[in-house]
Amino acid sequence: MVPLNQSVKFGLITGMALIAYTVVMYVTDMNLFSPTFAVLNGIISFGLILFMLSFTILKTRDLELGGTIKFQQAFLAGFVMALITMYLNSFFSYLLNGFIDTAYMPRQLDHFAETMDGKIPEEQLEQILDNVRDNADAFKGFIRSLWISPITAAFLSAVVSLFIKKNPAAQNPL
């Protein structure tokens, strides 16, 4: 059995950090659909999750399991941490876009349309906007996150768990 104290603790911390990051983006009214921002946002969000996944697995190994960890233990510790993080972030996004400011996402889409006007053909822009509007419903997004988050958490946790040293003392004897 894997103790999940570290996973829960760091899942909550990482989730709250991503919520704080989302609040900063909201308050500063960042252009969410800007290509530069989209890349930067992905690097920051996934970078933080990957870093905290590694950190959580290492802390679980060193503090809870006596310095050694099996792949399955590392995977489970990372999976729980990532899933808590993603569910917290998804729930906050649902609250923000579904209740706190229901006009936020439409404003972002309008800003995107203004930015892209004249840069791509009008019919292509309308098709993009229609697709985004269809997928931008806060409730649908939250429901979608309920099944996408576990898949993403499992994938990320598996990849990170592969690279974690399982028994550093045996691999680096002094």
pLDDT score recorded for residue 22: 97
Give how many domains the chain has, as a whole number: 1
- Range of 16's domain? 5-171
The per-residue pLDDT for range 63-90, each reduced to its tens digit, is 999 999 999 999 999 999 999 999 999 9
Is the pTM higher than 0.85? The answer reads: yes
Contact 123, 129 (CB under 8 A): no
Spell out where the chain has E strands: none
Task: Report how far apart, in Å, the C-alpha atoms of 67 and of each of 15, 31, 86, 101 are.
Answer: 26, 45, 28, 47
Q: How far is CA 26 from the centre of its chain?
A: 17
